[in-house]
Amino acid sequence: MGIYSRLSALIPEQSCVLCAENAKFCICHECESSFSNHQARCRSCAHPISGELDFCGQCLAHAPVFNRAYTLYDYQGAIADLIKIFKFDHRLCVGDYFSHQLYDLYQSIVSKGIQYDAIIPMPLSRSRMSERGYNQVLELLRVISKKTNTIIDTHSVDRIKATQPLSALNPEQRKAEIKNAFSAQPMSYKKVLLVDDVMTTGSSLNELAKIVIKAGVKSCDVMTLARAESKL
């Protein structure tokens, strides 16, 4: 588990935020071992697929604008509960845990020779930022920001439409709701990484990809904490 394993012996015990048992870094080993992560995923959208395939049927029929998606977990069970605790209760220890996990994922991506000119976090509308008090995606990028030289670009893209929560909408409604939700300044990046906490249908990330490509970016990939079972 990267730096968390190396430091665990130095940190006093605390309670797991999921089960209240003794834990290091607010997540106990038993709960962590329950986090689901399919090894076989669609190369385009990271949806779980059969091990013999590279792409899911949806992406073969209608490929997303972004090239490839990377994710850490399946959005279900304990990991879904933990993401909700982080996102809505603003538990800093959970954000720190996830930030280190996402850093490890990012390092595994760039170690294969993939380079990004910038990382663009999913922006929040002003009303959502005021309501929540922070952008949880920036919390997820905290360790990447500290330990790498990759630009975290929070200025080139704005969310200009305060969309209703997409979780209650079906895929077609999500696409309609998120349309024209972003605006972007001209960008000269060749390749960027778009980051969000959870990908469900991929509608938000796909719309964001459209905007950054239109603004001058040559290509983009996606990285998330978790991937839900819904399709793009």
Q: What is the mean pLDDT of residues 201-228?
A: 95
Identity of the residue numbered 231: K
The dihedrals phi and psi of 128, each to the nearest 5 degrees, come to -70, -35
Q: Which residues contact 69 (CB under 8 A, 6 or more apart)?
A: 41, 42, 44, 45, 46, 199, 202, 205, 221, 222, 223, 224, 227
Side chain identity at 149, as an amino acid letter?
N
Supply 186's token pair.
């001209």
pLDDT per position as a tens digit, 99-131: 999 999 999 999 999 999 999 999 987 777 777
* pLDDT-based confidence at residue 142 (cuts at 50, 70, 90): very high
In the chain, the domains with their CATH numbers are: 57-73+114-227 (3.40.50)
Residue 59 corresponds to which tokens in the numbers above? 């992406």
What is the per-residue pLDDT for 11?
A: 44
> What is d(CA 196, CA 140) in angstroms, rounded to the nearest whole number?
9
Q: State how far the Cα of 89 lies from the Cα of 101, in Å rounded to an integer.
A: 19
Contact 196, 41 (CB under 8 A): no
- Indicate the SS3 state at residue 160: coil
Global pTM reads 0.88
CA 152 to chain CA centroid, Å, is 14
Render pLDDT for 68-83 as a digit per residue (tens, 0 to 9). 999 999 999 999 999 9
In the chain, the amino acid numbered 116 is Y
pLDDT (tens digit, 9 = 90+) per residue, 166-202?
767 777 888 888 888 999 999 999 999 999 999 988 8
